């Protein structure tokens, strides 16, 4: 046991230091990670009479007469704005919009490479909820969708709720829906391995941030009994007498619905006899203790998703009896990574021109993501595909697109196969363009520079 622990600690030190070592050099080399390039042909300067003045006037007049033509004549239908005020950036907290910009650029890169979506980072110099809502609503003529990112709670809940009601384009908060989709997908497959039904399991939710609050809601929608969920924040378990939660409606509702036996206490008490732990809380280790894992039900499942260090080391959780362990890290098995979800979700939403992203569309995305690994190939250390399995994204796109049609949040009529083929083509094109530019050295080879 000692050798395994030493090896893993050594592995953590080496793998975690590599990104930090090169991040500054490479960001400075490329001066960011995204740029705008033409997608129309320019054979000579005469072509600008078509792409710009005077020819573009004919296009403008058509859109003036029929605003929906903007989707036919411009890139609006493939454009997403990534909106952040920099108040909750990764594990760094309130570092401001400028310092949050590299993260939003990274998000835009993932959108483009994994989903073929043109995403634009927009970091705002305001923390005011009303101003953020007003700015986003004002951006609707330009973008086909909105991705809210790294906005502190509790305002992240109300901003999302308001914009979903008041906007005519889909609005999504990746820290809420994105995380919840991937967690749910991972749990669906993990339960297949331990042969437990989702309607019977008891779940301890460690942490009550935006991610776990939304995850709780999706779990209930999928079939978990609210009475079998216990949520824990810094002040203890959620229950009907936690009157301090009344100021946040999303939390108060869960306090009323969950924890049927009114279990009082903290993480230890919440984990007793639980089948599943979903932790999205404070970086560890030892936020979750081995003895608490031993108190769980047989064949327990632990998702310890804090970064950069999970709430409990995976090997410690397994030594204590956990059957399946997932984390938020790529260097351990079973990474819970938002990037498995949002590129495909928005690819599907944009392709069918959905006006919103419903909870049912999110459940459809999670279900399809889980199905991307066949039951014969699901293993304790392989409950989810990885980003290398790029065809998961057109599959999620098609599932989301079809659900949008069923939910009647789009006027477009099509079928699964057509959405899948179109999404596959767009995503493949995006990856080929990047590889070609690397091969031709239009994207510099970093090895030559560092």
Domains and CATH numbers, the chain: 52-169 (3.40.50.10380), 176-450 (3.40.50.720)
Pair 229, 275: CB distance under 8 Å: no
DSSP conformational letter for 46: G
Confidence (pLDDT) at 20: 75
The single-letter DSSP state of residue 120 is E
pLDDT value of residue 449: 64
Quote the CA–CA distance of 154 and 144 in Å, as a whole number: 26
Amino acid 447: pLDDT: 75
Contact status, residue 214 vs residue 180, Cβ threshold 8 Å: yes
Q: Angle at CA 289, nearest 5°, toward 283 and 292?
A: 130
pLDDT score recorded for residue 19: 75
d(CA 273, CA 269): 9
pLDDT for the residue numbered 450: 61
Using CA atoms, how far apart are residues 193 and 16, in angstroms rounded to an integer?
30
pLDDT at 17: 62
**pLDDT computed for residue 308 by the predictor:** 87
Q: Which one of 4, 11, 21, 52 is the catalytic residue?
A: 52
Enumerate residues 6+ apart whose C-beta is below 8 A from 89.
Answer: 95, 99, 100, 103, 150
Of 76, 107, 202, 217, which is the active-site residue? 107
Q: Which helix (H) or strand (E) holds 188?
A: helix 179-194
Take residue 336 and report the two structure tokens written for it.
């819970």
C-alpha to C-alpha distance for 254 and 54, rounded to whole angstroms: 58
Beta bridge partners of 206: 232, 279
Q: Is 64 known to be catalytic?
A: no
| Sign of the Cα pseudo-torsion (221, 224, 227, 231, in order) | negative
Q: Smallest Cα–Cα separation from 300: which of 204, 443, 374, 215? A: 204
Active site residue 52: yes
**pLDDT score, position 129:** 98
CA 102 to centroid of chain Cα atoms: 17
Distances (CA, A) of 393 to 12, 247, 419: 29, 38, 11
Q: What is the predicted pLDDT for the residue at 16?
A: 54
Bridge partners (DSSP) of residue 301 are 276, 324
Q: How far apart are CA 246 and CA 256, in angstroms?
A: 10
- Phi and psi of 330, rounded to 5°? -80, -20
Q: Which two tokens stand for residue 194?
A: 């331990």
Q: Name the β-bridge partners of 327.
A: 304, 335
Residues of the chain with pLDDT under 70: 1-18, 448-450
Q: Which long-range contacts (CB under 8 A, 24 or more apart) does 11-19 make?
A: 11/331, 12/309, 12/331, 15/331, 16/308, 16/331
Q: What is the pTM of this model?
A: 0.93
């Amino acid at each position: 046991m000692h050798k395994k622990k030493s090896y893993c600690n050594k592995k953590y030190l080496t793998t975690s230091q590599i990104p930090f070592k090169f991040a500054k050099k490479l960001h400075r080399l490329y001066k960011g990670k995204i740029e705008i390039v033409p997608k129309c042909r320019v054979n000579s300067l005469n072509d600008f009479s078509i792409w710009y003045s005077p020819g573009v006037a004919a296009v403008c007049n058509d859109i003036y007469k029929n605003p929906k033509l903007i989707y036919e004549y411009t890139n609006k239908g493939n454009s997403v704005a990534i909106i952040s005020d920099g108040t909750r950036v990764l594990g760094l907290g309130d570092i401001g919009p400028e310092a949050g910009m590299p993260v939003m650029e990274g998000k835009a890169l993932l959108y483009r490479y994994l989903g073929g979506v043109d995403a634009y980072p927009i970091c705002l110099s305001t923390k005011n909820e009303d101003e953020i809502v007003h700015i986003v609503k004002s951006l609707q003529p330009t973008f086909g969708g909105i991705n809210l990112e790294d906005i502190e709670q509790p305002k992240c809940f109300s901003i999302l709720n308001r914009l979903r009601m008041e906007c005519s384009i889909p609005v999504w908060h990746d820290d809420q829906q994105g995380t919840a989709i991937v967690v749910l997908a991972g749990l669906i497959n993990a339960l297949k391995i331990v042969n437990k039904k989702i309607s019977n399991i008891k779940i301890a939710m460690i942490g009550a941030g935006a991610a776990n609050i939304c995850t709780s809601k999706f779990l209930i929608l999928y079939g978990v009994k609210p009475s079998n969920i216990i949520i824990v924040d810094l002040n203890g378990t959620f229950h009907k007498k936690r009157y301090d939660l009344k100021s946040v409606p999303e939390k108060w509702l869960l306090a009323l619905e969950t924890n049927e036996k009114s279990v009082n206490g903290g993480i230890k008490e919440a984990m007793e006899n639980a089948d599943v732990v979903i932790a999205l809380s404070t970086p560890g280790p030892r936020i979750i203790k081995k003895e608490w894992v031993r108190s769980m039900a047989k064949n327990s499942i632990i998702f310890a998703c804090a970064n950069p260090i999970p709430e409990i080391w995976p090997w410690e959780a397994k030594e204590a009896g956990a059957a399946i362990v997932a984390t938020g890290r790529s260097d351990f098995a079973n990474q819970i990574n938002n990037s498995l979800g949002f590129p495909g979700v928005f690819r599907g939403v944009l392709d069918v021109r959905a006006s919103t992203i419903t909870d049912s569309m999110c459940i459809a995305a999670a279900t399809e993501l889980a199905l991307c690994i066949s039951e014969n190939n699901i293993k304790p250390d392989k409950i989810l595909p990885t980003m290398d399995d790029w065809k998961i994204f057109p599959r999620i796109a098609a599932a989301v697109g079809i659900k949008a049609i069923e939910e009647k949040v789009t006027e477009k009529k099509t079928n699964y196969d057509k959405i899948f083929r179109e999404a596959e083509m767009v995503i493949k094109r995006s990856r080929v363009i990047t590889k070609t530019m690397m091969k031709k050295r239009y994207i510099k080879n970093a090895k030559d520079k560092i």
